[in-house]
């Protein structure tokens, strides 16, 4: 997912949408959504970790 798409994913999750709904909407696996959500909760950032 692009940084913009991750921002949209986070917005949908914060609005109460399920991870499955968001995954289906972006045509990705639920684990992609879950990892993005966890990363956002841990760091407060949308972008991937560097390294």
C-alpha–C-alpha distance, residues 9 and 48, integer Å = 14
Which two three-digit tokens encode residue 31? 């684990």
Asked whether residue 51 is assigned to any structural domain, the reply reads no
Looking at residue 45, what DSSP letter applies?
-
Asked whether residue 15 is assigned to any structural domain, the reply reads yes
Indicate the number of domains in the chain.
1
Asked whether residue 38 is assigned to any structural domain, the reply reads yes
Q: Which residues contact 33 (CB under 8 A, 6 or more apart)?
A: 9, 13, 19, 22, 23, 26
Q: Which residues contact 51 (CB under 8 A, 6 or more apart)?
A: none
Instruction: Name the pTM for this structure.
Output: 0.85
Asked whether residue 13 is assigned to any structural domain, the reply reads yes
Q: Which domain holds residue 38?
A: 3-43
pLDDT category, 46, cuts 50, 70, 90? confident
Task: Give the pLDDT confidence score for residue 44 in this predicted structure.
Answer: 87
Asked whether residue 7 is assigned to any structural domain, the reply reads yes
pLDDT digits (tens, 9 = 90+) for 19-35: 999 999 999 999 999 99
Asked whether residue 48 is assigned to any structural domain, the reply reads no
């Amino acid at each position: 997912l692009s940084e913009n798409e991750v921002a949209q994913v986070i917005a949908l999750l914060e609005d109460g949408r399920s991870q499955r709904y968001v995954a289906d909407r972006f045509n990705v696996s639920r684990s992609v959504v879950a990892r993005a959500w966890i990363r956002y909760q841990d760091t407060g950032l949308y972008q991937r970790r560097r390294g």
